[in-house]
Structure 1
Amino acid sequence: MIDRRAFLRAAGLAGAGTVLAGCSSADTTAPGAPGTTTSPVPTATTTVTVPPAPPNWESLRARISGTLFLPGDKDFDTVRQVYNPLVDGRKPAAVARCQTIEDVQACVSLAAESKVPIAARGGGHSYAGYSVPESGLQVDLSELKKVAVRPDGTVRIGAGAKLVDVYTELAKAGKCLPAGSCPTVGIAGLTLGGGIGVLSRKFGLTCDRLDAATVITADSRVVEASSARDTDLFWALRGGGGGNFGIVTEFVFAPLPAPALAVFTMRFPAGSATDVLGAWQQWIAAAPPELWSNIIVTGAAQAPACEVSGCHVGSLGELNGLLAGLKVRPSSRVVQAKEYLDGMRFFAGSSRRQSFVASSRMLPGPADPAKITRMMTGRPGLDLLIDSLGGAIADLGPSDTAFPHRKAFASAQIYMKADAADAARATTQVSEVRDALTEVAGTTGYVNYIDPTMPDWADAYYGANLPRLRKIAETVDPHRVFAFPQAIPRA
């Protein structure tokens, strides 16, 4: 197969962007010669677009120190999989399991030259499956997972690290980060979308602890973005969503001393959702930032049930005093003191792959509990997870980072397990509740719960920060190397 540069040389066109036809004249008399007149010679110009060369996968295989998997290779159908089996039907053209920053650079260079879709996969928890680019190059960062606490007190974390590994290594050094609960979620996607978690009301979002990030941009450059340099890009990486501005290979965070925690779970009987939600909203609105809590309303044919859980940065006695202020009685209650790592494990849940459909809204304030109960009636199998915000999250303004929902009261995730045969019905159920929530929550949403069916999704996820994000995306990726269906839209 002749490569593109050799073809252009053979055609006498190396370095040219267009082919000009009919540019010569039959009159070869020198202009201005005695006895001659000069006049413009009409010419015809034809622009020929030279298509990009197809990806040379074997060349990429030779260039990287990691492993390249192609369809038909052993393990290809395993390594391309992500957390949600509902996207297993989506197949990349290749998967590059990178071991170095240079490997990632080589992948970006090939994608830019060949115009093939490219996406990074950290933990593989993209709700819409965007870390599996159809017929494109999936950049597997799972080997870039080192967590190193440094002498200056910062921690350097590879973009392929999962939360369970981050928490384990930080705990060894007596450190913590405010981050999510699912153990197999990647630190990269979580941070880039903001990073809501059980310590957020006390310590802020995950992105609020970010000091710097190493990014491979669309032109394959290595950029160290921080508050001191490439400041626009650094702003965008803190809440502007994963995959929009390049591939982050490493993060530097400012961790905090690991605190002692007290955790709790309370279950309530069917039919009590309205009373419990009303009481919970009043209670958490008045709670100190050391207390984080969520409420899960579980849909049912007749009478939705609910569960309240939470985490307190402090002692068991302090937590029991706070719980006394919740004016509803549970049918069961568990309250435990935990060290930091065990506290994170308490909220971890299962690491196994799970088929689901989900969406979100952000609640600007307490919502009418009776309306929410009505939304969840007649919907068995559907959960509404309302996570409290406020506290340290609201200490920053909506435009201080790219995360716009600083003043929100809570996030609301609509979540339904569904296998392939039931996915269409689940999508309908989730969308109906999402749209019904606009009456009490407006039209905002959380980009880390990205939903391909979300109406006006760019405004929902980015709000007033969208124009600045668009300009930054146009600057760092003018040719849309990192395009995907819900990438930052261009003007």
Structure 2
Amino acid sequence: MASLAPPLLKALLLFSLLLTLLPRTAANRIKTLKQCAGSSIPVYPPNNHNYNRLKALSFRSNFATPLAIAEARNEWQVSQLVICARKAHIRVCARSGGHSLIGHNLCKGLVIDLSAMRQVSIKPGFVAFIQPGAVLGEVLWTLHKSKRWMAAGVCPAVGFAGYVLGGGHGPYEGKLGIACDSMLSVRMVDRFGKILDVSRTKRPFLFWAMCGAGGGQFGIVTSFRWRTVSSKQFDNAVVFRFRWPASRGGELMDKWQRYGEWGGAVWFRIEIYLAKRDKAVFGYGACYGVKNVAECMGRLNKAPFFNTPQRSTTYISTVRNALDLHAFFGPKGGWGSYRANNLYEAMLQQRGTESGQANERIYQSTFLRSADKTGPSRQFWQQYVNFCQSAFGARSVPWVVCELNLFNNAIDRKQNNAFPFRQANLITHFIVGGGSSRDTRFVYNRMKKYLRPFTIGVYVNYPELFLENYAKSYWGANLGWLKRVKKLYDPRNFFMNPQPIPAS
């Protein structure tokens, strides 16, 4: 025993020394960072009230504990923070809207918060200038003042930058394509703090990669130039919500999966909940460029799926304008249940309202494609409805949402960008949570397994931490080229991401 005491004592002393050095090391790094950044750039360490306030704003606020959080108010400050972080040997990540479903905007290094950089304006030629901290509701509100519009997702609280860099799926894609198809150029801070102009003519390989790779892969975007369209066809629209008994789900969805959505002039989403909430399959969406309800119903009645028996109308109405249309899709419209009472609130007061909501949930979004034109069978879809209604028998899970959208029309046009799954027929969203972590994970795995025969990829804006081969799942056939871009611009993952593009 005596002979073992000195080595054991040395080990204990070394361990104690490490415990005392680690906090000092973190404190010294933060001190170096703050001294380099200067007093004009706020940098908050843990336990600072501003640190806690900013951390709590993330959609998944429990993912990581950052070493520090800094607020950047302009492009120069972003550049300076990157330079100073390198000097302090701190890796970084950026946060625009904070809506990452797995919380990768809360890294263990320096979080550069861009929410103060939210300017949106219209330039000559109806080109939009958009900073990364703007959220979708703010962008659409400003565009509509000039009678302009763009492809956007249903949630107005989502940050613009993260949304478009992952592609950008939403209710206007059948007409306008995915959101980043309209990207004209970006300005970006690279890992050395250098400001880069990126477009089809300047660094075209990087420009190609930035549409579809997802946020936080190559640098920090500080502004976008964006192509917009007239809002006229979306100012004249009818919104609707219909209901079928769950027992009709297989028949309904078997026909719906082959619907052409009127060349993109109709958007029709399928939605299913737990049976204890409603034993039904819902379809909600909009007709674009119509004068009245009768014209919209005329379009829908020509679709075989729409005449599946036992349909009832839950809600249908014309809208005042495109803002009214978009608010219907969002939380103040009950996610496609009714028109919002207050458009200002619905579009401009949603930032941060969903903070922490992803903490107890798992999200998945898969692209589906059938080997033939018929798609999955009626029996497949009826079983899918049954699974959504029952959570595969996991009784502790109180919250399940299944959503499906057709993936067609303008999306199918070939584009010079890295978005990999245009050939998909459908995109699904599956959200489960609120129960025990074991049951939540069980339901997630069962749904993933059920969809696997038709799955060709996973939507990078709905990242999943449990993916075995996330790189192939997110980027498909484009992975090889994306690796080359990653190797050029961020080979050692200075920009922290729990699921980075492999550099080799």
Letter in 1 for 2:402: L
Partner residue, 2:388: 376
Greater relative contact order (Cα < 8 A, sep 6+): 2
The answer to whether residue 381 in structure 2 is matched with residue 363 in structure 1 is no
Cα offset for 1:235? 0.5
Query: Is residue 100 from structure 1 mapped to residue 74 from structure 2 by the alignment?
Result: yes
Is 1:180 matched up with 2:153?
Answer: yes
Q: Which AA in structure 2 matches 1:113?
A: K
User: Which residue of structure 2 aligns with residue 28 of structure 1?
Assistant: none
**In structure 1, distance between residues paired with 2:101 and 2:107:** 13
Contact residue 82 and residue 129 of structure 1 kept, 8 A: no
Distance across 2 between alignment mates of 1:133 and 1:60: 21
Q: For 1:303 and 1:88, how far apart are their aligned partners in 2?
A: 31
In 2: Cα distance, 1:89 partner to 1:412 partner:
24
- Alignment partner of 1:79 out of 54, 58, 61: 54
Say whether the 8 Å CA contact 2:107–2:496 is kept in structure 1.
no
Q: Aligned partners of 2:241, 2:386: CA distance in 1, in Å?
A: 24
Counterparts of 1:197-212 in structure 2 under 5 Å? 197-212=170-185
Letter in 2 for 1:99: R
**Equivalent in the alignment of 1:333:** 314
**Maintained 8 Å contact 2:198/2:207:** yes
Task: Measure, in 1, the Cα distance between the counterparts of 2:152 and 2:81.
Answer: 29
Aligned to 1:458: 471
Q: Which moved more, 1:284-293 or 1:382-391?
A: 284-293
2:482 match: 469
Q: CA deviation at 1:320?
A: 1.1
Offset of residue 374 of structure 1: 4.4
1:481 aligns to what? 494
**How far apart, in 2, do the equivalents of 1:285 and 1:211 lie?**
29
Query: Which residue pairs with 1:411 in the alignment?
Result: 427
Q: Which amino acid aligns with 1:438?
A: R
1:215 deviation in Å? 0.6
Select 1:253's aligned residue among 219, 226, 229. Answer: 226
Amino acid at match of 2:400: L
User: Secondary structure in 1 aligned to 2:264?
Assistant: coil
1:323 aligns with 2:300: yes
Quick one: distance in 2 between partners of 1:376 and 1:146?
41
User: Contact conserved, 1:357 with 1:423, CA < 8 A, in 2?
Assistant: no
1:334 CA displacement: 1.8
Residue deviations 1:351-377 (CA, integer Å, cap 9, x gap):
432233201210114333134234335
- C-alpha distance 386-147 of structure 1, shift in aligned 2 (>3 A): same
Q: Which residue of 2 aligns with 1:151?
A: 124
Per the TM alignment, residue 385 of structure 1 is displaced from its structure 2 partner at its CA by 0.8
Runs (4 or more) in structure 1 with deviation over 6 Å come to none
Identity of aligned residues (%): 26
Label 1:93 to 1:314 Cα distance change in 2 as closer, same or farther (>3 A): same
Contact 1:118/1:133 (8 A) holds in 2: yes
Indicate if the aligned counterparts of 1:265 and 1:309 stay in contact, CA closer than 8 A.
Answer: yes
Q: CA deviation at 1:176?
A: 0.3
Q: 2:45: which partner in 1?
A: 70
Greater share of residues in helix: 2
**Structure 1 Cα separation of the partners of residues 288 and 92 of structure 2:** 41
Structure 1 segments unaligned to the other structure (5+ residues): 1-50
Query: Which residue of 2 is the match for residue 343 of structure 1?
Result: 325
- Residues 271 and 303 in structure 1, CA contact (< 8 A), matched pair in contact too: no
Rounded to whole Å, the distance in 2 between the matches of 1:89 and 1:360 is 20
CA drift of 1:220 comes to 0.9
* Equivalent-residue separation in structure 2 for 1:341 and 1:407 (angstroms): 30
Deviation at 1:89, TM superposition (A): 5.7
Q: For 2:277 and 2:154, how far apart are their aligned partners in 1?
A: 31
Q: Which residue of 1 aligns with 2:414?
A: 396
State whether residues 272 and 389 of structure 2, in contact with CA within 8 Å, keep that contact through their aligned partners in structure 1: no
Name the CA shift for 1:291/1:208 in 2 (closer, same or farther; >3 Å). Answer: same
Contact between 2:131 and 2:224, CA under 8 Å: does it hold in 1? yes
Task: Give distance in 2, aligned partners of 1:349 and 1:191.
Answer: 20
Q: For residue 38 of structure 2, give the secondary structure of its aligned residue in structure 1.
A: helix
**Secondary structure of 2:461 counterpart:** helix
Rounded to whole Å, the distance in 1 between the matches of 2:405 and 2:130 is 26
Deviations along 1:149-169, one digit per CA (max 9) or x if unpaired, are 012310100100001101110
- TM-score computed with the length of structure 2 as normaliser: 0.81
Query: Given the alignment of the two structures, is residue 279 of structure 1 paired with residue 252 of structure 2, yes or no?
Result: no
Any residues of structure 2 matched to 1:203-222 within 5 Å, and which?
203-222=176-195
Structure-1 residue corresponding to 2:17: none
Q: Summarize deviations over 1:160-200 as a string: whole Å, max 9, x none.
A: 00011011101111000111110110110110000011110
Secondary structure (helix, strand or coil) at the match of 1:403 reads coil
Q: 1:111 to 1:291 in 2, by over 3 A?
A: same
Given the superposition, is the C-alpha separation of residues 476 and 61 from structure 1 closer, same or farther in structure 2, using an over 3 Å criterion?
closer
Deviation at 1:254, TM superposition (A): 0.7
Displacement of 1:304 in angstroms is 5.4
Q: Which moved more, 1:481-490 or 1:201-210?
A: 481-490
Contact persistence 1:269–1:331 (CA under 8 A): no
One-letter identity of the residue aligned with 2:318: A
Seen in structure 2, the aligned counterparts of structure 1 residues 80 and 269 have a Cα distance that, compared at 3 Å, is same
Cα contact 1:363–1:408 (8 A) shared by 2: yes
Structure of greater Rg = 1
| Higher mean C-alpha deviation, range 444-453 or range 477-486 | 477-486
Unaligned runs of 5+ in 2: 1-24, 333-349, 392-397
Contact 2:270 / 2:283 at 8 angstroms: preserved in 1?
Answer: yes
Native 8 Å contact 1:298 1:382 kept in 2: yes
- 1:426 paired to 2:440: yes
